[in-house]
Every structure is written in C-alpha cells, then in structure tokens.
Structure 1
Amino acid sequence: MTDEERTQREDLSRTGTRAASVILHARILLKADAGAGGPGWDDERMAEAVECGASTVYRVRQAFVEEGLTAALFRKKPTGRQYRKLDGAQEAHLIALACGAPPEGRANRTLRLLADRLVELEVVDAISPECVRMTLKKTNSSPGCASSGGFPRRPTPSSSAPWRTCWRCIPGPTIRPIRWSAWTKSASS
C-alpha cells in the first residue's frame, strides 16, 4: 500500500461521515497492510483489534486482493433482488380490469384470468398470477374493501360520560373527605 493510499484510508477511518461498515473495512485494511510502514497483523489479531469476526477480516482482505479497494470497502448491491414487474400505467390497467365486470359465464375474475387478459391485451409480455395477486394486494383494490374508500369510517362515540376534574366546578354537594378526588361525581348527573 502506498503512502497516499494509507493516508486516504486513515482519513476514511477517522471521519465519522461514512457508514460504520465502510469505516470498519478501512480499519481492517490498515491493520492488514504488510508493506513498508504497515503493521501487517494476522486475521485473529485484527479481528480482536477492530472488534469484528475473523470471517469478516478474511472476506475484506479477499475482496481487496481479488476485486480492488472499492469492493473491499463498500458492500455489494444485492443480486437476487426482484424489481417491480408492472409500472404505474400497467398497474392502472390491471386495476381497471379487476374492478370491471367479469367475463361472460363467470361470477368473478380469477388471478389467472387477469394475468391471461393482461398478456392478451399486450400490456405485458408475461406475468404470473402471483404477481397479479401481490399488485392487487398492494393497491387495496378490492371492490368491497372497507379501507378502499367505499365505506367511510364513522367516529366511535364515547361509551362513558365526561368527568369533571375540579371539585368547585361540580354542581351540588361533594363528598367532603375526598373533595380533591377527580372521580367524585360525573358531569352528566
């Protein structure tokens, strides 16, 4: 490691403006430096010094050797992430199909019928019924669902009468021994 790279990593590990994992990986690389002026520690000693597992030290060093500095410092983007199959216009088309009248001879639409209809109308190339289900679940587009705005919620009335908290505000006689109690008499009586 050159002096410039070492200075860069020292600055990175000292400033608290980065993610904790980036700072930890920079500290591991500083301790692993076997060049002139570097400590060159072994994995167990580094793991103890930076308070992490030995496997973390091993993975950081391996990533530095095989892929370079950026791969060793920063985490990789997830590779198995599934992105949305439908965009906004396609979702709107799906919702319009789901809320519309079912086809002739059917009482309801099924997820498979909706998926097939989307492909038939060339909205998408291919889509699974599970993707249709997840999209409809996310949008709360069930025609009879109370949370979709079809049935506005009414406020629930209170089941108990309001209580007065000041003994001077209560009309009529109060119980003298406990006159400072807020629960001596209700306002409705």
Structure 2
Amino acid sequence: MTQKYFVKLTESEQNRLQELINSRNASKSIKKRANILLMSDMSAGNPAKQAEIAKRCGVSVVTVYHTLRDFACNGLTYTLTYKRKKTTNPPIVTSEMQARIIALACSEPPKGFARWTVRMLTEKIIELGILEKVSRETVRQTLKKQNLSLI
C-alpha cells in the first residue's frame, strides 16, 4: 500500500503525544493512535512503513491508514478523541403512546376473539389514532419490553 498521508509533528505535538502515552488516564486505543503518529513522524527521520507500524502497535494496517488520514485532514485533537455516533432518529413510540398501547393490549379483545393478536392491535392503534402508522414489529417490541406476551 503506497502511503498517501504524511505526518510532520511539531515539537509541542510530539511532547503532547509523549505525555499522552505515559498518562494513566488515556485509553489503550488513544495511546495506540499516539504511538502510530509518533512512529509515522517525518520530522524525526525516515518513518517506518504502515505495515511495520501496524505490527509494532498491534493494530491493523487500516487503523494506521485511518489514523494518518484523520491527522492529515482534521488535525491532532480530532485524531485523539473518540468519534461518538449521534442518533438522529427519535423513538417512534413515546412513553405516553406506550402506555396507551399497553392499556389497549390489556383490555377486552374484540367480540369473537379470545385475545388480542399483534395484527389486530396494530390495526386498532392506527384506527384510534394513537400512531399514524406503525408496524407490527414495533407493537410487538413495545409489548415485549413490558413482558406482555400475546401468544
């Protein structure tokens, strides 16, 4: 794999990485990223190949590549922080809706039936306007959370 991203660290960045590696509070993955950056630093001489760095740090070549890319594109701070995924979708069923669904499931089933089925509940939820549209799986999971079994 040809090296696409190159790392040139300033002296202050090198010192920061050394402190991070010696720190007891930093996680293993952050310490590995710091090691990767120090081993790939061109200002210290000719850096090792990505495969060799990966072997020394105990990570994959892809991890080395992504670490170097993050540093080259976004800087040191971005590279040394966790990337947390943000959930953008709010829950479909709120607690109020959940309470109404459970109350409906615990009520008397329609005439001619001994108990509610998930399919009948789904149709009734839409009919009553609790939810505009809902899948049977959503209804099933809502009931399962409360240990309510229809089968």
Calculate the TM-score normalised by the size of structure 2: 0.75
Matched, 1:88 2:95: yes
Matched, 1:5 2:13: yes
CA RMSD across the alignment: 2.9
What amino acid is aligned across from residue 77 of structure 1 in structure 2?
A: R
Larger Rg: 1 or 2?
A: 1
Q: Displacement of 1:92 after TM fit? A: 1.4
**How many Å separate the matches in 2 of 1:125 and 1:68?**
46
Contact 2:117–2:150 (CA under 8 A) maintained in structure 1: no
Q: When the two structures are aligned, how many residues end up with a matched partner?
A: 143
Matched with 2:146 is 139
**Structure 2 vs 1, CA of residues 130 and 47 (structure 1 numbering), >3 Å: closer, same or farther?**
same
Matched with 2:5 is none
Give percent identity, aligned residues only.
Answer: 31
Q: Displacement of 1:28 after TM fit? A: 0.8
Matched with 2:38 is 30
**Structure 2 vs 1, CA of residues 14 and 97 (structure 1 numbering), >3 Å: closer, same or farther?**
same
What amino acid is aligned across from residue 137 of structure 2 in structure 1?
A: E
**Which of residues 123, 128, 149 is equivalent to 1:121?**
128
* Unaligned 5+ runs, structure 1: 145-189
- Select the structure that is richer in helix: 2
* Unaligned 5+ runs, structure 2: 1-8
**Structure 2 vs 1, CA of residues 99 and 61 (structure 1 numbering), >3 Å: closer, same or farther?**
same
Matched with 2:62 is 55
Q: Which consecutive aligned stretches of 4+ in structure 1 deviate over 6 angstroms post-superposition?
A: 79-83
Calculate the TM-score normalised by the size of structure 1: 0.62
What amino acid is aligned across from residue 55 of structure 1 in structure 2?
A: V
Q: Displacement of 1:38 after TM fit? A: 6.2
Contact 1:31–1:38 (CA under 8 A) maintained in structure 2: no
